[in-house]
Amino acid sequence: MKVTCIIPCHNERDRIGQVLNVIVSTRYISQVICVDDGSTDGTADYIEAEWTGVEVLRLPRNIGKTAAIKYGLKYVQHDTLLMMDADLQGLRRDELETALDAYQEHSDLDMIIMRRINSPWFVKWYRSDVLLSGERILRTADLKHVVEEELKCYQLEVAINRYMLRHKRVVRWMPWSAMNTYKVDKLGVLDGSMKEFMMYVDIVNYVGFSHMCLQLASFTKKLHYSSYKRARQEQLYL
């Protein structure tokens, strides 16, 4: 199995290095694409200087994560795609390779979400550690179908979830120690909190309240290797 890893990034020069050090040394990953979303801190230059095997795509202005990934999909070479955030802390190669092993072994598994098990309690309470996780393994073709729809910057993950539900795909999550850098840490308490609030408003406005409740209540469950085939037959989403 050959995998393309796509990483959108905006002003992540100080954080993306620890992510790339893991990604470029991980089994299965044979193409790494970083889409620089109009950074002003030299992110793209830094990547090109330090990781010569990484493909860097530069956007002239900041157009948002979803649009950046859509642009990057034009250059993807492989059928299996790993979505990865640029600001992860504590990324572990062994966990990533375990997830990729599982995806390869279980051919009728459509997507694996890496659940952020170290998230604060309030993040787990409304299931953002799963539903909004930016770390996913899925088919390139499925993601291309998702981004055919016009999406705003914060809507991609829930749009993928909705696509998987509507098309009766089998989705499972696996535990993941890595953590994102929260917006309050990047932007300060006031601006970061406002960004977080607007993100959730944007998400609910997009999928609607009833469908958001459906995702909260019944989208995906933990991957158990002995039961995934039965789950495929029964189309269970817990």
> CB 89: neighbour CB atoms within 10 A?
14
Tens of pLDDT, residues 143-158: 999 999 888 767 899 9
Query: What 8-state DSSP symbol labels residue 89?
Result: B
Query: What 8-state DSSP symbol labels residue 180?
Result: P
Mapped onto helix, strand or coil, the DSSP state of residue 222 is strand
- Determine the pLDDT at residue 212: 76
As a whole number, the mean pLDDT across the chain is: 85
**Taking 70 as the threshold, does the pLDDT of residue 234 lie above it?**
no
In this predicted model, which residue has the larger pLDDT, 207 or 235? Answer: 207
Burial class (CB in 10 A: 0-12, 13-18, 19+), 112: buried
Tens of pLDDT, residues 71-120: 999 999 999 999 999 999 999 999 999 999 999 999 889 999 998 887 77
* Helix (H), strand (E) at residue 226: none
pTM of the model: 0.84
- Determine the pLDDT at residue 229: 45
Q: 3-234 belongs to which homologous superfamily?
A: Spore Coat Polysaccharide Biosynthesis Protein SpsA; Chain A (3.90.550.10)
**Taking 50 as the threshold, does the pLDDT of residue 19 lie above it?**
yes
Q: What CA–CA distances, in Å, run from 83 to 41, 140, 184?
A: 23, 10, 23
Domain spans in the chain, listed from the N-terminal domain onward:
3-234
